[in-house]
Amino acid sequence: MTVALRARVLILAALLVVAFVGVTGRLAWLMIFKRAELAQMAERQYSRTVVLHAARGPIVDRQGAPLATSTPGESLFAQPRAVGDPVRVAARLAPILDVPAHELHAALTSSRSFIWLKRKLPPVEAARVRDLAEPGLGFLDEPLRLYPNRELAAQVLGFEGVDGGLEGIERAWNATLAGTPGKAVVGRDALGREVVTQHVLATPEPGHGVMLTIDKTIQYLAEREIDAAYRRTRSKAAMAVVMEPRTGDILALAIRPTFNPNAFSDAPSRDAWRNRAVTDPFEPGSTFKVILAAAALEEGVVRPDDRIYAENGQLTIARTVIHDWKKFGWLTFTEVLQNSSNVGSMKVGLSLGKERYYKYMTAFGFGAPTGVGLTGESRGVLRDPQRWSALSLPTMSIGQEVSVTALQMVAAFGAVANGGTLMRPRLVKAEFDADGREIRRFEPKPVRQVVSPETARTLSRMLARVVEEGTGHFAMVPGYEVGGKTGTAQKLDPATRRYSRAPGVLSFVGFVPANEPRLVMLVMLDEPKNEKWGSEAAAPIFSAIAGPVLRYLEVPPRDATPIQIVTGGGADGKVAGGVRLASVATETAAGVMPDLRGSTLRQALAALTPRGVRVEIAGRGRVVQQAPAAGEQLGDDAVARLTLSPSGARTVQWARAPEREAVQ
């Protein structure tokens, strides 16, 4: 090889080495030193981070029926710079979104690069907007909260806004219901479409569900009657609170005016959102005499039969004349309560003394929140005895100068109905996870024993007299013994600083059945326009609600003789012959067993009940055998044993053993 050739080869080799070193160096620079930055840039190009929305937990009633639930929804946004003709787009969107066109136009001509037009659209609206195919509009997934029963228990449930629960349970339990949103990096293709979830940075935790103590059916029954009364009396507000005294469970909380939580912003006034049963204290009036009576009986200040002179309906205390609604002379303490005598009650209050009365008022839970777990709960107004005037004790004895919430009042009456034990009102029964498994249960919580069971029993009997013979007459529920007290309270007129003559708060608080209460209920009308007395306005509403609720709860009336039904077996062998499908021979003389074969259970019971016969039934369907036989005499303690089989069955194969037990 010549020298020149060798030189050229060397130069080429050197150049190659330099080039190789250069490339290697550049690679090292990019791959080692700039790695993180470039990797991030690349990731931005082929992937993006998205928020994974957590499903909000449902709210269900005590039977598991949904009261609030979530469904996937979408929120509409605009990128104003990409919108073609804002005037046209606003005009097309306005009727779909039910938003004024000028507001949409203002949003679409905004200088911002991204703006929400409407959050959480129902699926139908979203589909209609999508059909417009307008550039510059887009959707992002956001769950939509729905309340399938509309106004039912609206103030209890509250509602959810863009940033979570805003009122009621939705607000108080927001942390539990909301869950935790997640985050994920998703790959996208050249068109920007999401391809596959590459990396979940944080898994979304669905919200937990909440089971309330509210019963949807009882709530409906209460709302139906309250709504009718609210309209009829043209009241400012009306409410009913139904509680189970043994557990403190709130079964219904019906309030008017109300709103539809699916469209909460359409409510005529924000007042409709408020849960007045916990936020609004009121002067209870005569219903508060029950608290006085409990304290006086427990302290032995007075006994039910002690006689009190009612001063012919007029008493002057601290230069103030207090009147009764009627001129009463001598009354027993039971009659004082029965007739709601102010004078009699004041005298008992004065005998009790302010310290002892105050002690019982606080023991019954007045002057402190009940702890039901709703936001904005009022403690009511109960001043310290040191700040009482000379008139305070007598007026507090008749439920003035003290303010209570409806829930406090129901809880206090619940204590009387529950043998003297005050229960904490319970609105949330349990919390459950996304799979429906119960993860936390809230047991009934006794607060304290306020009065002895004996005092509670005595007072219950006195309150039953109030309904049977006194002012609470209209609260009677046929077949059940009701105990309760009416209340007619005036409101302070801010102008005159005196009690107004106009109707203020008309109420009835009671429990039923009086001997073994299953329900305690408050009914209240606030400033009704055409009613004057709690006894005439509120007590009938109590009756109208309690009747169907007791039937729904299968509480037997006191005068009912239960029919004994034996189930689980039938006759052995075969029932020979055809089954006659006939109407019951009710023409049979009384005291004689009719021929019931072929009749339905309903027909058989209709025929036997007037005869005062105890009935035992085996099986289902139509009567195929009966004992005694048709035409036999029925004695005083006669038992009619009927064997039924499914309709149309001509021959029935029965199980062996139980037949003897059931039919013999």
Partner 1 sequence: MKKPQRLHREADPRVRRSLGAALAISAVLVGSALGVVGLRVQQVHLAYQLDTLRAERTRTETLIRRLEIEEATLRSPLRVEQRARQLGLTVPARDQVHQAREFVTGTTGLAAAQRNRVAAADDRTTTR
Token pair recorded at residue 316 = 């002057």
615 strand-pairing partners: 640
Q: Which tokens belong to 224?
A: 């139906």
Torsion, Cα of 422, 426, 432, 434 (10° steps): -170
The residue ranges that bind partner 1 (CB under 8 A) are 65-66, 69-72, 123, 146, 148-150, 152, 187, 189, 194-196, 216-217, 220, 224, 478-479, 548, 551, 556-557, 560-569, 605, 609, 616, 618, 658, 661-662, 664
| C-alpha separations of 325 from 259, 317, 462 in Å | 38, 17, 20
Question: Rounded to the nearest whole angstrom, what is the least distance from the CB of residue 662 to partner 1 in the complex?
Answer: 6
Closest contact distance (angstroms) between CB of 460 and partner 1 is 23
Q: Looking at beta carbons only, is 212 or 382 nearer to partner 1?
A: 212
- Smallest separation (angstroms) from partner 1 to the CB of 186: 10
By C-alpha distance, which of 412, 425, 427, 421 is closest to 382? 412
> From the CB of residue 600, how many other CB atoms can be counted at a distance below 10 Å?
17
* Pick 109 or 564: Cβ nearer partner 1: 564
- Decide: 620 and 646 in contact? Cβ < 8 Å: yes
Q: Which is nearer to partner 1, 123 or 591 (CB)?
A: 123
* CA pair distance 471, 85, nearest whole angstrom: 71
Q: Which positions are catalytic?
A: 286
Q: Nearest CA to 472 among 390, 404, 533?
A: 533
Closest distance to partner 1 from the beta carbon of 72 (Å):
5
Q: Is residue 158 left, alpha or beta, with left meaning phi > 0 and alpha meaning psi from -120 to 50?
A: left
Complex with partner 1: residue 509 or 613, whichever CB lies closer: 613
Provide the minimum distance between the beta carbon of 219 and partner 1 in the complex, in angstroms, as a whole number: 8
Comparing CA positions, the residue from 25, 278, 31 lying closest to residue 158 is: 278
**Of the two residues 10 and 200, which places its CB atom closer to partner 1 in the complex?**
200
Phi, psi of 658 (to 5 degrees): -65, -20
User: Sign of the C-alpha dihedral, residues 68, 69, 73, 75?
Assistant: positive
CB of 444 to partner 1, least distance (A): 26
Cα 367 to Cα 405, 413, 424, distances in angstroms: 9, 15, 14
Minimum distance, C-beta of residue 111 to partner 1, in the bound complex (Å): 35
Partners of 78 in the beta sheet? 115, 137
Q: Nearer to partner 1 by C-beta: 407 or 662?
A: 662
CA angle 421–422–427, rounded 5-degree value: 130
Q: Read out DSSP for 236-303? A: SEEEEEEEETTTTEEEEEEEES---GGGGGGSS-GGGGS-HHHH--B--GGGGHHHHHHHHHHTTS--
Nearest to partner 1 of 267, 563 (CB atom): 563
Q: Specify whether the CB–CB gap between 113 and 79 falls below 8 A.
A: yes
> DSSP class of residue 390?
T
Distance (Å, whole) CA 137 – CA 650: 70
The minimum distance between CB 252 and partner 1, in angstroms, equals 11
Is the CB of 99 or the CB of 146 nearer to partner 1? 146
Q: How far is the CB of 452 from partner 1 (least distance, A)?
A: 33
Q: What is the DSSP letter of 282?
A: B
| 519 Cβ neighbours under 8 A, 6+ residues apart | 242, 243, 244, 245, 251, 511, 512, 546, 549, 550, 553
CB 398 within 8 A of CB 286: yes
| Residue among 436 and 577 whose Cβ is closer to partner 1 | 436
What residues contact 162, with CB distance under 8 A and at least 6 apart?
119, 120
Tokens of 395: 């007026």
